[in-house]
Amino acid sequence: MAAGDAVQVRPARGALRPLVSGATLVALLALLFGLPWWTLTVAARWPAPVVAAGTSVFVVALVAFPVLMYLGHGRRRLDAAARAGDTLLGLVWILFVWALLGNVARLPLAAAGVADPVRSRAVAVGAAVVSVVLAVWGYSEAMRVPRVRRVDVTVDRLGAGLDGVRVVLLTDTHYGPIDRARWSARTIEVVNGLAADIVCHTGDIADGTVDQRRAQAAPLGAVRARLARVYVTGNHEYYGEAEGWIEHMRTLGWEPLHNRHLVVERGGARLVVAGVDDVTAASSGVAGHRADHAAALAGTLRAR
């Protein structure tokens, strides 16, 4: 090959991946914000000032959303930004779904003889009203103390002394950017009212570090159980500091079952309570964390 010959080199696939990912993200955001914008403003043929105002709101929301998510869930972890970004995501997702359903509803409206702009405005108003109602209902449900569901479980060969043992399962508390310390306290009051023998927290305790969520998690220290309080990690602990939460739960009086077990006893009967790390722990990069059932049950034959 001569020194002056041109050589065409194809870009490596890895170099194109950020471009593809970025283009995909832009397309998804454009669709997520664009469909509600078109349905609620342009398609409804509102007067020009209404369309301009609505367009301005959607443009500001579209530009602000990735910034808020980066500041709230990136390295800086600003709770105010996370609250705003998460709320915006919830609202625009509800609007997107109902704008989509509203556009489907155009067909029967057209078949019924409803002409534009009445048809499009009915769709726009309907989608907006339903979205607001669902957003308010969703917030109230999120802040409500969870309902108690009672389930009878039969365990073969359970000793008579442990017959009727009461286990309370508490999970996915997700203490996060929205301060739910009061919710946490009310939830623990309900848990304590169940007169549990064993209380299990099965992970996703918080979104954030111990220092960020200490006040919200504090009521967990008041949980009462006759035989044991046990805890295992969920996948969200591995987004923050799994080791920190394991140690903090220990200081609150809980037994972290980090691939281990304990034995509870009552009336001469014994029960092995074992726990493993979340299945995502192995890929989290946290040393020594993975779901290890063999380690969790090691020695249980002797414990029986």
* SS (HEC) of 55-121: HHHHHHHHHHHHHHHHHHHCCCCCHHHHHHHHHHHHHHHHHHHHHHHHHHHHHHHHHCCCCCCHHHH
pLDDT of residue 20: 85
pLDDT of residue 301: 72
pLDDT of residue 21: 86
pLDDT of residue 74: 86
pLDDT of residue 302: 59
Mean pLDDT by 10 residues, the chain (304 residues): 54 72 91 97 95 97 96 90 95 97 93 92 96 95 92 92 96 93 96 97 94 96 97 93 95 97 95 96 93 93 58
pLDDT of residue 76: 84
pLDDT of residue 247: 97
Helix (H) or strand (E) holding 256, with range, is strand 255-256
Task: Quick: pLDDT tens for 173-217.
Answer: 999 999 999 999 999 999 999 999 999 999 999 999 999 999 999
| Per-residue tokens: 245 | 């939460």
| Per-residue tokens: 83 | 């609250």
pLDDT of residue 16: 81
pLDDT of residue 77: 86
- What's the CA gap between 199 and 255, in Å, rounded? 10
Report helix angle 210-217 to 181-192, nearest 10: 50
Task: Quick: pLDDT tens for 2-18.
Answer: 555 555 555 555 678 88
pTM: 0.81
Query: With pLDDT > 90 as the criterion, what percentage of the chain qualifies?
Result: 84
